[in-house]
Structure 1
Amino acid sequence: MAMKSLTYFAVLYLLALTLPLAIASDPSPLQDFCVGVNTPANGVFVNGKFCKDPMTVSADDFYFPGLNIAGNVNNAVGSNVTTVNVNNLGGLNTFGISLVRIDYAPNGQNPPHTHPRATEILVVQQGTLLVGFVSSNQDGNRLFAKTLKVGDVFVFPEGLIHFQFNLGHTPAVAIAALSSQNAGVITIANTVFGSNPRIDPNVLARAFQMDPNVVRDLQNRF
């Protein structure tokens, strides 16, 4: 009986050690680098990309210029996200990281959205931002919000809805790192009201407790 109990707890202990690895967003690399390309060239398929022949890899495969250039914020939400991920910097393949620059017009926002595959850490470079995220249903949908100034840092947990809003009357800039080579993004309003084909307005009307005509109007906007 004692031996069975010992085995039981040993299995639980091993599961506790391995579980964090099993749920990691991106697997750890097993080589120095695997520069991602879109076609096979004497390589293998890894993390959605073919590995470039290591003998043809150069410094340019790990280089991305122009993150100092402001993005165009002349749009409905007043913000622009410049993304540096595996799709435009092949050297990031298998490394589990990516980077974005976010520009905000005065009163502009990066609207509520979620990254399904990454935690995000953001630092303010210019301006003043109101930022926050909302916990899941099981944690009571609590809002965690903070006003950030230049040099302040805030973390948005993986998969949770979050946002940033420029409180100032001048442009703002933030840099954020994400724990995935391709974090993905789901903008809530676009997803719910701008799906293709449209979600039945009666479904959304009941979910949001609003008139179906209001839902149809929102769908037309997106």
Structure 2
Amino acid sequence: MPHKQHTYNKIRESLIKMMVSQSLIPIAILALAIIFSVNAYDPSPLQDFCVAIDDLNGVFVNGRFCKDPVQVNAEDFFFSGLNVPGNTDNQVGSNVTTVNVDQIPGLNTMGISLVRIDYAPYGQNPPHTHPRGSEILVLVKGTLYVGFVSSNQDNNRLFAKVLQPGDVFVFPIGMIHFQVNVGRVPAVAFAGLSSQNAGVITIANAVFGSNPPINPEVLARAFQLDPYIVKELQARFGP
């Protein structure tokens, strides 16, 4: 912070000198605007809520249009169904039931969402990332092996634990993470995310199932694989 403040002071002094010249006033004003925007932070909401609605006549806030507050009702903040187990009869043996702004319009601008994750015995939620939110997970049934991998800057360290019912684990924003049911019975977990729509990038699907496909030679060199293996994986994960 001292270094940042020193840099800020130097820039400010330079701008004051520049503004002495009339011809440089527009440049100085622009530079000042940039400085203040860099030192600003997200403002607090100026309204109680902004219920998302597909209406071009509304007020556009955070990627959504706001519903007229007079027409807002309790249903805009409600969702029913997280008590229903998800279908885990698939290749990975898991199912994620998402409750974000698409299911609850009232979540718009609130920066939170929720998921229920069901795991078949030995099923997994494969390695993936959430580009717009951190995640906090609580296990309510079964036994999970969970973890995340830090960035290259932190030498790609693995942070992993085996969770029992009642245990909680946090996955930082953007980090590749996973959960695996290591028990013989189904497992259930609930997770909160710090975004109204955190997004998800499943690593294998994104790398080997992109549309159009990534050049196999690129992936072969990146993963140190034979190009024929890459093509086989692309055929398996492709659209």
TM-score by length of 1: 0.89
- Alignment partner of 1:200 out of 215, 219, 223: 215
Q: State whether structure 2 residue 179 is matched by structure 1 residue 185.
A: no
State the Cα deviation string for residues 98-156 of structure 1 (Å, max 9, x = none): 00000000000000000000000000011000000000001000000000000000000
Query: For the Cα contact (< 8 Å) 1:28–1:96, is it kept in 2?
Result: no
Structure 1 residues 11 and 103, CA, compared in 2 at 3 Å: closer, same or farther? farther
SS across alignment from 1:39: coil
Matches within 5 A, 1:1-222: 8=6, 21=41, 28-41=44-57, 43-222=58-237
Q: Which has the larger radius of gyration?
A: 2
CA distance in 1, matches of 2:115, 2:171: 14
Q: In the TM superposition, what is the alpha-carbon distance from 1:21 to its structure 2 partner?
A: 3.7
- Long gaps (5+) in structure 1: none
CA distance in 2, matches of 1:28, 1:93: 14
State the Cα deviation string for residues 60-111 of structure 1 (Å, max 9, x = none): 1000001110001010000000000011110000000000000000000000
Report the more deviating stretch, 27-36 or 189-198: 27-36
State the Cα deviation string for residues 161-182 of structure 1 (Å, max 9, x = none): 0000000011000000000001
Q: Letter of the aligned partner of 1:34 in structure 2? A: C
CA distance in 2, matches of 1:210, 1:195: 18
Query: For the Cα contact (< 8 Å) 1:104–1:172, is it kept in 2?
Result: yes
Q: In the TM superposition, what is the alpha-carbon distance from 1:48 to its structure 2 partner?
A: 1.2
Structure 1 residues 20 and 80, CA, compared in 2 at 3 Å: closer, same or farther? farther
CA distance in 2, matches of 1:138, 1:80: 32
TM-score by length of 2: 0.83
Q: How many pairs does the alignment contain?
A: 208
CA distance in 2, matches of 1:197, 1:20: 40
Q: Letter of the aligned partner of 2:150 in structure 1? A: S
SS across alignment from 2:6: helix
Q: In the TM superposition, what is the alpha-carbon distance from 1:11 to its structure 2 partner?
A: 5.4
Q: CA RMSD in A?
A: 2.0
2:25 maps to none
Q: In the TM superposition, what is the alpha-carbon distance from 1:55 to its structure 2 partner?
A: 0.4
